[in-house]
Amino acid sequence: MIKRYTQFIKEADETEETKVPENETDSSDSSKFTEIKDEVKSMIENTIKNSGGEYSGFVDSFNKNPDDVKVEGFINDSDIYDFYLKWRNDIDEVLNSIKFFDKLPSDVNAFGLYEYVIKGTQKAFEEVVGMLK
């Protein structure tokens, strides 16, 4: 049987939830996505090292206006696509958690598959930066 991608992701989430012991609290979510958060944090620190500023101020600026604040290594579409290839599983989980896949591609102004991947990766990156606070 062929399944929709969102159904596949939801089933994967349900399977993962059954593996978590009942006595664990939401604090386990803080350990979720640690590798991608470390990577994004490193990218931000490299950007700050090259252009100046402080970490918390940069993160706040990025969260307020992600279109104007650029992170080194995440500027060009090719950089963004490479980031997606490296972190696609985590990115898919982040996007699923915010129900990104429930939206039509035209809702995010993506009119091709490549654009959809780029827009989705940018949105996941924004979410991960938001987790860094």
Q: Is 20 contained in some domain?
A: no
Q: Is 25 contained in some domain?
A: no
Q: What pLDDT is stored for residue 29 in this prediction?
A: 55
d(CA 132, CA 29): 13
Residue 117, domain extent: 33-131
Q: Is 99 contained in some domain?
A: yes
Q: Is 67 contained in some domain?
A: yes
The two structure tokens encoding residue 43? 């990218």
The two structure tokens encoding residue 35? 């590798």
> Cα–Cα distances in Å, from 72 out to 12, 26, 76, 87, 98?
33, 32, 9, 17, 25
Q: Is 1 contained in some domain?
A: no
Q: Is 8 contained in some domain?
A: no
Q: What pLDDT is stored for residue 16 in this prediction?
A: 58
Mean pLDDT of the chain: 85
* Number of domains the chain is built from: 1
Q: Is 5 contained in some domain?
A: no
Q: Is 110 contained in some domain?
A: yes
Q: Which residues contact 101 (CB under 8 A, 6 or more apart)?
A: 5, 6, 9, 95
For 111, half-sphere exposure in the C-beta direction (CA atoms, 13 angstrom radius) is 1
Q: What pLDDT is stored for residue 22 in this prediction?
A: 40
pTM above 0.85, yes or no: no
Decide if 107 contacts 115 (C-beta within 8 A): no
Q: Per-residue pLDDT tens for 5-63? A: 777 777 777 765 555 444 333 333 556 889 999 999 999 999 999 988 899 999 999 99
